[in-house]
Amino acid sequence: MIKPFKLFALFALSIGFTNCSNDDDNTPKTSDLTLNIEGLENLGDDYVYEGWIMVDGTPQTTGRFTVNDSGELSDNDFALNANDLAEATAFILTIEPAVGDDPAPSKTHILAGDFNGAQGDLTIAHGAALGDDFSGISGNYFLATPTNSDDTDEKSGLWFLDTSSGSPAAGLDLPVLPEGWKYEGWAVKGQPITTGTFLKVNEMDDFKGFSGPMAGPPFPGEDFLVNAPAGLTFPLDLSGGIAVISIEPDPDNSPAPFLLKPLVGNISSNAMQHVTYNMSPNLSFPSGTVSR
Output the pLDDT for position 149: 96
Residue pair 59/53 in contact (Cβ under 8 Å)? The answer is yes
Q: Is residue 7 part of a domain?
A: no
Domain housing 259? 138-284
Output the pLDDT for position 85: 98
By CB atoms closer than 10 A (0-12, 13-18, 19+), residue 58 is: exposed
Residue pair 39/259 in contact (Cβ under 8 Å)? The answer is yes
Average pLDDT estimate for 92-118:
96
Residue pair 122/110 in contact (Cβ under 8 Å)? The answer is no
Residue scoring higher pLDDT (59 or 3): 59
d(CA 62, CA 85): 9
Output the pLDDT for position 268: 97
Output the pLDDT for position 1: 45
- Among 82, 108, 131, the domain-final residue is 131
**163 and 271, same structural domain?**
yes
Report whether pLDDT(225) > 70: yes
pTM: 0.90
The total number of structural domains in the chain stands at: 2
**115 and 71, same structural domain?**
yes
Output the pLDDT for position 24: 57
**226 and 273, same structural domain?**
yes
d(CA 102, CA 94): 12
Output the pLDDT for position 7: 39
Report whether pLDDT(292) > 70: yes
Average pLDDT estimate for 101-107:
92
Output the pLDDT for position 25: 64
Average pLDDT taken over every residue of the chain: 92
**227 and 183, same structural domain?**
yes
Strand 161-162 with 221-223, pairing: unpaired
Report whether pLDDT(2) > 70: no
Sign for the CA dihedral angle at 232, 233, 235, 241 comes to: negative
What percent of the chain is modeled with pLDDT above 90?
89
**146 and 88, same structural domain?**
no
Average pLDDT estimate for 70-93:
98
Measure the N-to-C terminal CA separation of the chain; round to a whole number of Å: 55
Output the pLDDT for position 27: 74
Q: Is residue 3 part of a domain?
A: no
Average pLDDT estimate for 192-208:
98
- Among 131, 150, 169, the domain-final residue is 131
Report whether pLDDT(23) > 90: no
d(CA 197, CA 232): 21
